Amino acid sequence: MSERFYVEGGKRLQGEIEVSGAKNAALKFVAAALLAPGKTVLQQVPRIKDMHTMLALLDELGVRTNFSGATLEVDASTVDSYTAPYELVRQMRASLVVLGPLVARFGEAEVSAPGGCNLGLRKFNFHVDGLRALGADVELDHGFIKASAPAGLRAAEVNFEYPSVGATENVMMAAVLAEGVTIIENAAREPEISALAGFLNSMGARIMGAGTGRVVIEGVQELYPTEWTVMPDRIEAGTFLMATAATGGDVTVTNALPEHLKMELEKLREMGVDVNAAPGSPGIRVRVDDPASLSGVDVATLPFPGFATDLQAQMMVLLTQASGAGIITENVYENRLQVAEELNRLDAGIDLFGGHRALIRGPRRLSGTIVQAPDLRGGAALVMAGMVSDGTTVVDGATHILRGYEDFEEKLTALGATVAFEAEAPVRR
């Protein structure tokens, strides 16, 4: 299936839009539901391609699910397989997080080496080393990660060389049923980590310190189904905020928490964007009269609370519309800057240095053409670039965008953008 977005430039975004539940939290909650027999109910679940991939994976494991509106029921009473197949895991790296819950509850798990966006090495050795520290026997066999702990997991101190979000989540989910007290040092601090800990604690887990670099997990004998509401998607919120600034618009993004976007909002203010966001308020308003009145800034991506790598491509587009120069340094994923090559097809004039640094000079008058979405966030940034380009921009490879944004076309259209989605079956010869 060939999927693409058609974008007409020259429209200011105006109005109010509500962001969906967070992709990067909801997927982990679904995986964590494997830890307890019975029906777990999740509210505000985004209807995105990655979620449907995760549900297909659970179906392979024998889990019963019911997805109605934004409510998802996961009944993990009937798990009869511990193998996550290649054809599903290759579509989404987040599939790897079923490893911890499966080996914790059943003492056995087999997960294909992960796929998803081509963002570089993103080694999964942190996941493997963490589970081994908890006493699991883990081996790599013909492209599969096989873990077993027939006598159960045991508590340990897990020291991460790097604060990996996925590995922190996997070890947390495994350690909740391990005997004793597990300590994770140099744990990831992202809001999704805190949300997962809250979700697990509502199931009967005992987790302290989530959201800090030191997480303490006191193992329990069993967990129970729960009901939980997915936190707002901070990356979707940031995408709309930056798109608004780039088009010289005025938009209020509701169901968005300013404390989840501290560094990003600070950079927007530094550029000259009018940002109205009170701590604890579930909404953020941004207003820009003329994007050329904004000033270029330097941005370096870092784990939370630093500037999110998932918002770097969108910031790159915004910088093309601001006056002066800005440098983006990518410190998380080595392939994340590949979107710059596609932006240059729109005449962005971005210079790359060493594969991890980009120099953007603005304001640039972008010109619409055909571009290819390199990954999820890069694809969203290219749609955003189309909105500030002359003429029509065609963003091919839209399947990347559908993986993480719910109703992307409809939400942008509601704000005044001219965006159309097209899916075309391949021609048989």
The catalytic residues are 117
Which residues does 225 contact at the CB level (< 8 Å), separation at least 6?
A: 33, 36, 37, 38, 39, 40, 41, 203
Integer Cα distance of 99 and 110 in angstroms: 7
For 371, the token pair is 């571009």
**Residue 88 Ramachandran class (φ > 0 left, ψ -120 to 50 alpha, else beta):** alpha
Phi and psi for 61 in degrees, rounded to 5?
-85, -5
**Locate tokens 């967990």: which residue?**
223
How does strand 283-287 pair with strand 324-329?
unpaired
Phi and psi for 266 in degrees, rounded to 5?
-60, -40
Q: How far lies 377's CA from each of 230, 315, 337, 366, 402, in Å?
A: 21, 11, 11, 19, 10
For 18, the token pair is 């509500």
